[in-house]
């Protein structure tokens, strides 16, 4: 493996939950009298509480996020190509999953997709600032004992790409939820995680 550590996002990289996630956000936005499409666009790769604080600062972000995350947990998801292989093939102590989900939602996502929970799972609960801030990726690197420059981040959303770059890491992106033009800040793009296993030395 050419990198000391692999730090991968969850939704859109390991688990396909995009349509369900957007549906929950659209329903929530409609109930609150907000622009449903604008809220759905703002939701990718960012913790729920920060989405709500940005689109509806008049609401109690913590309370609303708890409700939204409970709805997300009911939607489930399916493993994306390459997800099971990555989790199985990465050497012990070299992989972390870094997500904007809370801990309970992340665990539910992995269970619904039939994927094992990794030893290092950094969720929105573990950091003060979510993506696009670099905090979660820096916490994951520290947990693995890896220097940021030796880490590769795998992301699907612009906010996550920016977070990885802000952390001083190499960033590879998959075009499962966003097009290459939206992920142009990444160092490399691929159709999905399966296409990155060989470059990672795990195929």
Task: Cite the active site residues.
Answer: 9, 11
Residue by residue, what is the 3-state secondary structure of the chain? Answer: CCCCEEEECCECCCEECHHHHHHHHHHHHHHCCCCHHHHHHHCCCCCHHHHHHHHCCCCCHHHHHHHHHHHHHHHCCEECCCHHHHHHHCCCCCEEEECCCCHHHHHHHHHHCCCCCCCCEECHHHCCCCCCCCHHHHHHHHHHCCCHHHEEEEECCHHHHHHHHHCCCEEEEECCCCCHHHHCCCCEEECCHHHHCCCCCCC
């Amino acid at each position: 493996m050419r990198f000391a550590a692999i730090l991968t996002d969850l939704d859109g990289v390991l688990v396909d939950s995009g349509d369900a996630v957007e549906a929950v956000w659209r329903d929530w936005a409609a109930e609150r009298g907000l622009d449903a499409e604008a809220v759905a666009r703002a939701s990718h790769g960012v913790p729920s509480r920060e989405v709500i604080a940005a689109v509806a600062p008049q609401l109690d972000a913590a309370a609303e996020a708890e409700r939204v995350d409970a709805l997300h947990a009911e939607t489930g998801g399916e493993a994306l190509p390459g997800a099971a292989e990555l989790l199985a093939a990465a050497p012990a102590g070299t992989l972390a999953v870094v997500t904007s989900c809370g801990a309970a939602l992340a665990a539910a996502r992995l269970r619904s997709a039939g994927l094992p929970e990794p030893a290092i799972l950094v969720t929105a609960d573990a950091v003060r600032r979510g993506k696009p801030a670099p905090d979660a990726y820096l916490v994951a690197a520290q947990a693995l004992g890896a220097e940021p420059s030796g880490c590769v981040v795998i992301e699907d959303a612009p906010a996550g790409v920016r977070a990885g770059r802000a952390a001083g890491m190499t960033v590879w992106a998959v075009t499962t939820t966003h097009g290459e033009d939206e992920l142009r800040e990444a160092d490399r793009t691929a159709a999905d995680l399966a296409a990155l296993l060989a470059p990672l030395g795990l195929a």
